[in-house]
Chain A
């Protein structure tokens, strides 16, 4: 046994789990009744470590939605205690149990982070009734929606490609299905999610504006259960159970949409041969090899298929896979080693007038990541590690059977990304918590491949050719991270934070939201790493026994090496695509206000963001600052969830946002007899404001040990507000010589109905 500190100290360690399913609980609190302000939280794998002096203590295990665990112990030697928390039975003593919340949000040095409650999220009404984590986070301050019904999001002025979306540590490149209407995350498979709005700890890196760290469920290791749901758009099914009871478990979830069933009914051959669906599968298995070692294998596989008759087809999706090895080095050191693979690929097929054309595109990563946590004592924790990732981008390889086009084979590009980090969490004088760290990231252009150097007007001036295994240009960036909290009064704190983030993978897209044919490029000789510096400060306050949570945060973010395109940029099938890019800066600042009622019969929150997001490029708007398209001055969300009875829950959410910054025509003129709109400076106009009310209700039909099912009804856009998706500047077909502006709204009111069920096998009692 390793004993670092005073001889009278001993370490308690173990796992904190759900007593019913055996799922490890992340961020559960273990505290000591006799020593106020002393405690530990379980890590991402449910492991905790608490070092205390000799003595007799009452241990309290606590987690939201669970009954407290209490146990008296005599601590005279280090020992392992696994803590099993029982989920609070909702019917019995709802108020008493769930009213107890913690003030972690106030005390921790970490700021601008939100831990999302997956169960709570299931109550928020969403479009088509498909519960969606990416749409629910858009209701939080500082997070903006990419558009109507869209799962894309922008955090504190960052672009949609600047979010690090991790599923069991694997990067998900395109987190959406069906052009963004659904996210790739099936709620049934999710256990925990945390959103960091820029001030992320040093263990995360690679994207500028946020981290959404999503963890999949491990599966029930006590008994088998089957569940699922049938909705208007998609159906879901999952199975989970033990591999060996209390030692290992698995979970498989699947989901598929069925809009194409209706197209098959059509008599029109083009329509009935059309395809339009997506599916995804999440699978995970884990096994405790020994008391100190545990292995996890998890994967995601999702695909969208879209086809118009036999003429045109597109097929795209992500694959991720993670193999992890948890190892308890000793009772104070926890290690995790992960091997990670992920890819995003798309394929377009065209078959028209005897022309067969296939375009294949792929971006894939393979890497290793090691994280070590050292729980020194109750006031000190160190985390350090590193990551190494190889990346290949295949930008679109074309095969054709016709002499009408020449196949364009764009060069593949290769890159090697490395990072090491260390961070220290420390509590000083009871009142001050500090989390500081440094991440050093590097990106190396690797062979085989051709790298162009460009001069200002976009013509290649020189090329370097790298052979396989040869290294080209390397960029190294130190990324300091710091956050401090001053807990000046009970349940009240001030926090400040600074962080620098860099990004070496960049999305090229002409469209405003994610598109299946998104093209990702890597940092190269021309494209420099994107860099963001963010400072933020906030005031955090809980009241009424932590039942209410209030936060006010301000931030200023400065972004360098941002990418835009020259006018009429040719982004597809272009070998020298980098010649189409221009580089500039971005700045974003704002205030975020949040109040949440966290417990009781009704819960809910109000979130308001006042912000500005601007970009500046030499080539655009005469090198002046202009608003980014999603610069929305006001962004308000009100969310309410009310348990009328234990069996009936109703919910509502209302959002109001300033319209997008857009470019309207300011005039028109005739060329070749045709009238053409004239556009003034970019993004100097505004769409009308966006607002919308959604309501939903869940009726629990039956809730029994073995069998439970419920019915969910929801209405998206209840008062049928026609929010503009697009505004067209066109000639009036009915009045020759007259121009008009026509607005297109995607949805009026969208009702939906979902039936959910769950069957858990319970051994009959004798």
Chain B
């Protein structure tokens, strides 16, 4: 239930809620290790990123963790030792993600070992991408539609690629991957056609080009994003929680092995309609 929206409306009716920036004396939890790793069924290389937390009021600058030893192995005998191409960014060299295989990531840094495992789930095809008006905002929302395989438990992550239209001369269709992602569980819709909103960092405007990627993920990765999406901003939930990491030894972040599918590219006509452009 969008309790806050309801509250906000009531508050707006009665008086105007007052917002102001305040400075708090926050605890310092900088220097904790964060690992984010993804292996998918698309051509590699795949990225494992290592960084450290900073204090909340610090600038948004990633503090990379360099010099770590990272390997990814699979249950078919595959082995890859990752190369650090830029500080904190470690790429695979030979690995080719295959559906059904179980991948094991091992990282060694600062004298500690971190491990995570994931099995690559089979891909689920995207049927279509649509757009609808929203009561809660004046901007339209994109949604994705696909058929959920019946009889098995599925979890999904959707990632939006949005190319913002600047003017008619812009012909560059290089899409910008949106950082906000949405996750879906088929708990209430097993075997049905699932329609679900995608999340975007920016509002969708006339002329924008969109594409959605659908990742078939495992439950730990779903739980990670579900918690992250539910507790990022507010201190009003009963207990804001950190997303549960599936990496050992207390590292923050997640490791995911998943298969991805993509929607067609569409362009928004400003009238709650998309036009296919390829």
Residues of B223-259 at the interface with A, using a CB-CB cut-off of 8 Å, are 223, 226-228, 230-244, 252-254
Residues of B148-199 at the interface with A, using a CB-CB cut-off of 8 Å, are 177, 179-181, 187-190, 192-195
- Complex-state Cα separation, A726 to B27, whole angstroms: 18
A residues in contact with B112, CB < 8 Å: none
Q: Which residue, of A309, A672, A722, A730, has the highest number of chain B Cβ atoms within 10 A?
A: A672
> B51 on the interface (CB 8 Å rule)?
yes
Question: Chain B's nearest CB lies how many Å from the CB of A145?
Answer: 16
Complex contact A727–B24 (CB within 8 A): yes
- Complex-state Cα separation, A567 to B26, whole angstroms: 23
Question: Chain B's nearest CB lies how many Å from the CB of A586?
Answer: 15
> A755 on the interface (CB 8 Å rule)?
no
A residues in contact with B22, CB < 8 Å: 688, 724, 727, 741-743
Q: Which residue, of B14, B19, B20, B57, has the highest number of chain A Cβ atoms within 10 A?
A: B14
- Complex-state Cα separation, A664 to B62, whole angstroms: 21
Of A668, A674, A683, A744, which one neighbours B56 at CB under 8 angstroms?
A668
- Complex-state Cα separation, A738 to B190, whole angstroms: 42
Complex contact A568–B240 (CB within 8 A): no
- Complex-state Cα separation, A139 to B194, whole angstroms: 51
- Complex-state Cα separation, A200 to B91, whole angstroms: 67
Complex contact A745–B59 (CB within 8 A): no
Q: Which residue, of A688, A740, A744, has the highest number of chain B Cβ atoms within 10 A?
A: A744
Interface size on A, residues (CB 8 A): 83
B residues in contact with A36, CB < 8 Å: none
Contact A311:B135 (CB < 8 A) given known A510-B237, A685-B27? yes
Q: Which residue, of A262, A670, A738, has the highest number of chain B Cβ atoms within 10 A?
A: A670
Of A408, A663, A667, A742, which one neighbours B55 at CB under 8 angstroms?
A667
Contact A670:B15 (CB < 8 A) given known A404-B192, A405-B189, A665-B56? no
> B277 on the interface (CB 8 Å rule)?
no
A residues in contact with B19, CB < 8 Å: 742-745
- Complex-state Cα separation, A729 to B29, whole angstroms: 15
> A646 on the interface (CB 8 Å rule)?
no
Residues of A153-187 at the interface with B, using a CB-CB cut-off of 8 Å, are 178-179, 181
Complex contact B34–A726 (CB within 8 A): no
Residue of chain B at shortest CB distance from A726: B236
Residues of A650-671 at the interface with B, using a CB-CB cut-off of 8 Å, are 662-671
Give A405-423 as 1s and 0s: 1 = Cβ < 8 Å from B's Cβ atoms.
1101000000000000000
> A520 on the interface (CB 8 Å rule)?
no
Of B60, B201, B223, B237, which one neighbours A739 at CB under 8 angstroms?
B60
Give B10-52 as 1s and 0s: 1 = Cβ < 8 Å from A's Cβ atoms.
1101110111111110111110101010000000000000011
Complex contact A737–B6 (CB within 8 A): no
> A764 on the interface (CB 8 Å rule)?
no
Give A515-528 as 1s and 0s: 1 = Cβ < 8 Å from B's Cβ atoms.
11100000000000
Complex contact A744–B17 (CB within 8 A): yes
Give B128-145 as 1s and 0s: 1 = Cβ < 8 Å from A's Cβ atoms.
000010010000000000
B residues in contact with A77, CB < 8 Å: none
Residue of chain B at shortest CB distance from A670: B62
Complex contact B179–A672 (CB within 8 A): yes
A residues in contact with B238, CB < 8 Å: 509-512, 629
Contact A678:B32 (CB < 8 A) given known A568-B226, A667-B56, A739-B56? yes
Known contacts A406-B188, A739-B56, A741-B21; can you find 18 more A-B pairs with CB under 8 A? Answer: A178-B10, A179-B3, A263-B13, A568-B230, A663-B235, A664-B26, A666-B29, A667-B54, A668-B54, A669-B252, A673-B177, A678-B29, A678-B56, A682-B239, A685-B26, A730-B233, A743-B20, A745-B18
B-side residues, CB < 8 A to A, are 1, 3, 6-7, 9-11, 13-15, 17-24, 26-30, 32, 34, 36, 51-62, 132, 135, 177, 179-181, 187-190, 192-195, 201, 223, 226-228, 230-244, 252-254
